[in-house]
Amino acid sequence: SQKIEQNSEALNIQEGKTATLTCNYTNYSPAYLQWYRQDPGRGPVFLLLIRENEKEKRKERLKVTFDTTLKQSLFHITASQPADSATYLCALRAGGSGNTGKLIFGQGTTLQVKP
């Protein structure tokens, strides 16, 4: 079955450093991959989408890479700030027939940026 894995351990880094989060998947060939941010008590907020034919995508201090051979995506936050502290979720569009838009989510990695 399709499976997505994110590092369940919290990532603690110092302000100003680059945070790198990992998303691995198996039994799957997604057309695209998304990253969402979730703050406590709130719904996820979309950050970036990267397609299977794209190696890298950037948005301000965020960078996402997508390696379909390794079946892995890396999510980077450069010049991290305490306000970046949150849980980051990786999501893949479910496979199978039909035009379903449902997403399969990883369990998320919690990032804590210390001042």
Identify residues 60-99 at the interface with another protein (CB under 8 A). Answer: 89, 91, 93-94, 98-99
Smallest gap from Cβ 108 to another protein, in A, equals: 6
List phi, psi (to 5°) of 83.
-65, -10
In the chain the first and final C-alpha atoms are separated, in Å, by: 41
Q: Are 20 and 74 in contact (CB under 8 A)?
A: yes
Site string for another protein, 4-23 (x = CB under 8 A): x-x-----------------
Closest CA to 91 of 70, 109, 112, 111: 109
**45 vs 70, which CB is nearer to another protein?**
45
Distance, CA of 114 to CA of 77 (rounded, Å): 14
Distance, CA of 111 to CA of 84 (rounded, Å): 8
According to the binding rule CB under 8 A, does residue 26 interact with another protein?
no
Smallest gap from Cβ 56 to another protein, in A, equals: 18
According to the binding rule CB under 8 A, does residue 111 interact with another protein?
no
**44 vs 80, which CB is nearer to another protein?**
44
β-sheet bridge partners, residue 83:
none
Interacting residues toward another protein by CB under 8 A = 4, 6, 32, 34, 41-46, 49, 89, 91, 93-94, 98-108
